[in-house]
Amino acid sequence: MEHLLKELEKYTEQLKLKALEKYDLSNDFLERLYSVFPFNRFEYIISHLIANQIINLEQYLDIRNSYLERNKYLYIFEITAPRTFGETWAQRHLNELVPELRRPSKALDSDYSGQYDFWYNGIRIEVKASRAVKRQGGDSLIMKALSTDSTEGFDMNFQQVKPTCCDVFIWIAVWRDTIRYWVFSSKEVEVNRHYSIRQHRGNTGEGQLWITDKNINEFKNYLVNPRNILDKVIEKGNKQKTKG
């Protein structure tokens, strides 16, 4: 969003010179502009730029395509219900990447009672997901969404983490422009210095882990290319079972 605003600001300065301040495209006016989807401040600016021949259709399409490329995952920030994002979207997304993962059942695991999300050859897998958003501000998720090159501070909170209920964790982190995947054994999560067991009072064996702009580099050894997720799950799961 910041990149688009700067790009349009460059063109609106040309419009001000050409139209002799005929059009009010100041930030103050645009903030007060009444918007109803799909009519908003951006279509208002762009329509004025095209009408006054500051940009042509080809330039508009270039702006549009660049924005879409930088924000290919912005639609995920439109999912407002945490359960829909964390369970419905994340689990379906992972299963599309790794179709070999199976939904658990009593037939596969006689001890299964909803403790984890996927099963693969005896390996119990739990999926967690979070989104990178600005730490400060009361805007909507979609307005606070960050790209990977942002210098803004961010928090990603992986909640209701229960290391004793699975063998492997797959954590999915969403930015505007990319999705990253971490794979941990449950023991690696349990002993991580950022893992806290103090999420809810009285919830034994459950905790949370915050990944932020300040500690994210500590987790780079757990990053996995989407094509290698299953191989890493097998590796981590077998090690976990051997240690267990």
pLDDT, greater one: 136 or 211: 211
Q: What is the pLDDT of residue 136?
A: 76
What whole-number distance in Å separates Cα of residue 132 and Cα of residue 151? Answer: 12
Q: List phi, psi (to 5°) of 119.
A: -135, 135
Query: How many other C-beta atoms can be found within 10 angstroms of the C-beta atom of residue 239?
Result: 15
SS3 37: coil
DSSP structure class, residue 145: B
Beta-sheet strands, E only, within the chain: 118-120, 123-131, 133-134, 154-161, 168-174, 179-185, 195-196, 207-212
Domain coordinates in residue numbering, the chain: 2-70, 74-243
Per-residue pLDDT tens over the stretch 11-66: 677 776 665 556 666 667 767 766 666 677 788 888 888 888 888 999 889 988 88
Q: What is the mean pLDDT of residues 164-186?
A: 96
Q: What is the pLDDT of residue 43?
A: 84
Residue 158 pLDDT exceeds 90: no
Q: What is the 3-state secondary structure (H, E, C) of 82-97?
A: HHHHHHHHHHHHHHHH
Per-residue pLDDT tens over the stretch 63-111: 888 888 889 999 999 998 888 998 899 999 999 999 999 999 999 999 9
Q: List phi, psi (to 5°) of 131.
A: -125, 145
Q: What is the mean pLDDT of residues 204-230?
A: 92
Please state which CATH class domain 74-243 belongs to: alpha beta
What is the reported pTM?
0.79
Q: What is the pLDDT of residue 19?
A: 57
173 and 132 in contact (C-beta within 8 Å)? yes
Tokens of 91: 């689990």
